[in-house]
Chains A and B, each alone.
Chain A
Amino acid sequence: MIEALRPAFVIVRREVRDQFRDWRIIFPIVGLTIVFPFIMNWTAQQMLDFTNQYGATLIADRLVPFLLMIVGFFPISVSLVIALESFVGEKERSSIEPLLNSPLKDWQLYLGKLISSTVPPLISSYLGMAVYLGGLIINHVELPEPVIMLQVVVLTTVQAFMMVAAAVVVSTQATSVRAANLLSSFIVIPVSFLIQWESLVMFWGNISTLWWVVVGITVFGGLLVRIGLAHFQREELLGREVDVLKIRWGWNLLVKEFRGGAANPVDWYRRVVSRSVRGLAVPLTIVTGLVVISLVLGTTFVSTYGFLIPTDKLANAGESLNNLSQVWPMFQASSILLIWWQNVRVLIIAMILGVFTFGVLGVLPLMATMAVSGYLGAVLTTSGVPLVSILALFLPHGVLEVPAAVLATAAVLRAGAILATPTPGKTIMEVWLANLADWLKVMVGIVLPALVIASLIEILVTPRIAVMVLGN
């Protein structure tokens, strides 16, 4: 194994040496290592004095580790610049081809670039944090608890890893350094949101939550590396494509993948859609499992957040529903559309979330819905509503709605998984468009029609059952 890693470290050594010969990299790193922590020390001192004047010691306690995080974060932002340039920069300078001609394996080259982009800024980050903490000691400021300091160091490390992993993916796929820099906003913006959220947690939340953030970022970074390697193609790195938005090409590919060579709609349903559904066997199993887990979890929330519905309100539920149906246009087409669109919108949001998280967050809307359903069901049963009655309110439309949502979510999960799977001869964009087409096939072919029927039932049938069940 060590012998296999050797070529990667040959790359690391060269890259790091090259970086330390470039004043444009050295200057900010040195500045952020030496100058910036002193500024932060001064800021910390001023703010501590200010907050202590008003007895806000809690803020003061949390300010010190927060500033430690900021001191650590700034140098690792340099890693983004280095990583973005790692492949596409060599491509622009034509130095990539001799590397590609060498007997390096793809993963060795990739790992070498990944490590070399991470290590110098990370060392600078550690040094900066050490200088900051040293300054605190000199100024007799109480240091944060060791576990919090460790947390900040680990968080900084995994954030650097995640940012570099994302930037290297961008660098392997971009056609020029300019394009890579422009695409970096896809990394900078989410990371800045993450930092803001972490800051909130540090000041007002439970700091131990940040360990979960560490786990999440590590998994996400690992997925990014997996994706980068899966779509690393020597051929693409030598391409001479210009940076143009190929809308027509993308549209044509999407349409072609969506049609799947079907001769007519019947053929499309029988051959193309069924093939897509067959490919969902594993994600369907996973999503079904998650649905069950969410339902069970939802029911357990009752013990913490539960409440009892007053008996008189339950007794009048039938009458209330009757009154509601008088004022609310329950049996109209607009209501059907409203419910249908609400469901579709959630599935689209799931897809969008899935796109940016390799399917992981795409399951959240369904899980949240099922958890809420489980919770409501549990609240109703503990309030004395028979389970059969609850099922009668839910099952008529749910029997279509839930499987449709499970199917759509499984398609999102699969799309994310495929993105992280090697697809020789295809670019990330081609794979992504094929995934989108697959999701559309399932949506258009099965999910949307099923949701229309479910909405019809929910408007025309379920309320009548509800009145019948609750009226009695």
Chain B
Amino acid sequence: MIKADGLTKYFDNFLAVDQVDLTVSEGKVLALLGKNGAGKTTTVRMLTSILRPSAGSASVAGYDVVRQADRVRASVGVLTEHHGLYGRMNSGEYLVFFGNLYGLAESETRRRAATLLERFGLADAAKKRLGEYSKGMRQKLALVRALLHNPPVILLDEPTSAMDPESARIVRDAIVQLRAEGKTILLCTHNLYEGEELADYVAIIQNGRIILNDTVENVKLGLLGPAEYEARLAAPLDGILPVLPRGVELRSQGVDWLRFRVTDPAFDNPLVLKSLLDQKLPVVVFQEVPRSLEQAFLWAIRRTDEEVSDD
């Protein structure tokens, strides 16, 4: 549904996007992560046929972004970083205007608009001028606009950045549902928890280059190593060095906790727990150490920055 091969963009002599390869198949969500100015928006704009690639090729919904630009635009719903609504219109007028641009019949537009406004909690503000909307409401309306023509591909640039937690939850739930409906979604976000929750795949872009592109689990595994497990005790260890079953690697130890790695969690973890209990150690918590996408992202970015400075 989205495929980019060696997508490159120069602005004069500045290389903004450097040979980006991406694939997002139907019903999947790819989170495109990167610092400000890393090349996310430029990539999205090339995929929406607004910017012409300097090199490489891309297709969206089966259409070439250069040769079939009109068809690409008709097949994509885009939530842009800046929502840019028309302040003197109300939501109904605004959505009918865009519905007309996408060739929808007015009755169809009104029907879909009503459903989407209800879904995103904007139905009550239908008569308000958009200039009176809060930032979060504007963002939700921009999302409604992006979904109005029921596009098979959705590109979302920071979809929840200005929203309160409740609105952000509504939008995240909507994204999950859209994925379930088979939509292909590219999500640009700085909110890594959101990326981790919603994305099937993660691509990290740094200085215009994709430095990592894999499933969320593989990214974490690749950057942070195998999972670690943690046992927390009800009482201090008092200098006791617990004996662990063979093959279990003790990674670190605190006053009342210890962390370890195992080869096969399903087989080894019960043995570890039994061993600790056998040693009269009062285990109260036994869990996988939480590892966030944020840790992996920061690690990847730091590593790339160091490589660049070494060069």
**A-to-B contact residues, CB < 8 Å:** 6-7, 10, 14, 17-18, 21-22, 90, 93-105, 234-235, 238, 424-425
Tell me the residues in window 94-151 of chain B with beta carbons closer than 8 Å to chain A beta carbons: 97-98, 100-103, 142, 145
In the assembled complex, the Cα of A21 lies from the Cα of B71 at a distance in Å of 34
Cβ-defined contact, B50 with A93, below 8 A = no
Given A18-B88, A235-B52, A425-B52, answer yes or no on A98-B102 (Cβ-Cβ < 8 Å): no
Assess the A14–B84 pair: CB atoms within 8 A. Answer: no
Cβ-defined contact, B70 with A105, below 8 A? yes
Cα–Cα distance between A101 and B47 once the two chains are bound (Å): 10
B89 to chain A, nearest CB (A): 7
What 9 new A-B contacts, CB under 8 Å, besides A93-B84, A94-B82, A101-B76? A18-B89, A22-B88, A95-B84, A97-B80, A97-B84, A101-B73, A102-B101, A102-B102, A234-B51
Of A7, A21, A90, A97, the residue contacting B101 (CB under 8 A) is A7
Known pairs A94-B83, A102-B98; A235 contacts B73 (CB<8 A): no
* Interface contact B103-A98, CB-CB below 8 Å: no
Instruction: Kindly identify which residue among A14, A96, A234 contacts B97, using a CB–CB cutoff of 8 Å.
Output: A14
Q: How far is the CB of A85 from chain B (nearest CB, A)?
A: 13
How far is it, in angstroms, between the C-alpha of A10 and the C-alpha of B97 when the chains are bound? 7
B25 to chain A, nearest CB (A): 23
Q: How far is the CA of A94 from the CA of B85 in the complex (A)?
A: 8
Given contacts A18-B88, A103-B70, contact A234 B50 (CB under 8 A): yes
Chain B CB within 10 A, most for which of A7, A22, A235: A235
CB-defined contacts of B98 to chain A, threshold 8 Å: 98, 102
Q: Are B84 and A104 within 8 A (Cβ)?
A: no
Indicate which residue in A97, A103, A425 contacts B74 across the interface (CB closer than 8 Å): A103
Contacts of A18 in B (CB 8 A): 86, 88-89
Q: Are B78 and A98 in contact (CB under 8 A)?
A: yes
Shortest Cβ gap from A93 to chain B (Å): 6
Closest Cβ–Cβ distance, residue B145 to chain A (whole Å): 7
Contacts of B78 in A (CB 8 A): 97-98, 101
Cα–Cα, bound, A193→B102 (Å)? 44
Question: How many residues on B have C-beta within 8 angstroms of the other chain's C-beta atoms?
Answer: 28
Q: Mind listing 23 A-B residue pairs with CB under 8 Å?
A: A7-B101, A10-B97, A10-B100, A18-B86, A18-B88, A90-B84, A95-B86, A96-B84, A97-B80, A97-B82, A98-B84, A99-B101, A100-B50, A101-B50, A101-B80, A102-B101, A103-B70, A103-B73, A103-B103, A104-B101, A105-B70, A238-B45, A238-B51
Residues of B within 8 A of A235 (CB): 50-52
List residues of chain B with CB within 8 A of the CB of A97.
50, 78, 80, 82, 84
